[in-house]
Chain A
Amino acid sequence: GEDVEQSLFLSVREGDSSVINCTYTDSSSTYLYWYKQEPGAGLQLLTYIFSNMDMKQDQRLTVLLNKKDKHLSLRIADTQTGDSAIYFCAESITGGGNKLTFGTGTQLKVEL
């Protein structure tokens, strides 16, 4: 079955790096996504990785995928107060009709 898990909270100081982790159980994932949700807003697509890749870098964001352990992480370099939000990982399954299974979300708090 599909199950995507994340830790609930992460607190970092401004300027430090943040690492948000995600584990998933379905080995037939095609794409894995990271979305950001600010209070009272919708989901903003941040980045994604195809399941045959190990790493993807996009400006301050680095996505690492360990397919053997079914572990996905999002690293935010030089974290700013504007990065405070809830971060959801999501997977789409091969043959799943583009249906996304979301993780529980990680609330990132950036302190001065």
Chain B
Amino acid sequence: DAMVIQNPRYQVTQFGKPVTLSCSQTLNHNVMYWYQQKSSQAPKLLFHYYDKDFNNEADTPDNFQSRRPNTSFCFLDIRSPGLGDAAMYLCATSRDLARDHQPQHFGDGTRLSIL
């Protein structure tokens, strides 16, 4: 019973060709997060949505954008992928933001390869 679903599991794109990764959730959580995880590294937060409010991390490149058309879906758009953007991209959700215990629940990730 997957609650945070990422599609596709594997994505291959060409250098410079825009790509969109998808995340959906059945938890009705307010917050959705996107992380980038490179090989043998910890996940790195790119941005998050609190409801419709978008919050970008200071060091997230402009090449990365996100859209959240409704509560259930969130998209990660990479406008011009470079070789350095090859990574696993993880989506996570939480009910709220730190008012009390708000664990983040992760999807299985999309592994992005750049040719």
Contacts and interface: CB of A to CB of B under 8 A. Distances in A.
A88 B90 contact: no
Nearest to A45: B103
Contact of A43 (B43, B96, B98, B111): B43
Contacts of A66: none
Contact of A30 (B45, B55, B98, B107): B98
Interface of B: 4, 6, 31, 40-43, 45, 55, 90, 92, 94, 96-98, 101-109, 111
B106 A98 contact: no
A48 B4 CA distance: 20
A96 interface: yes
B31 A43 contact: no
Interface stretch (A13-21, A57-65, A77-85, A100-108): A100-108
Contact of B97 (A48, A88, A97): A97
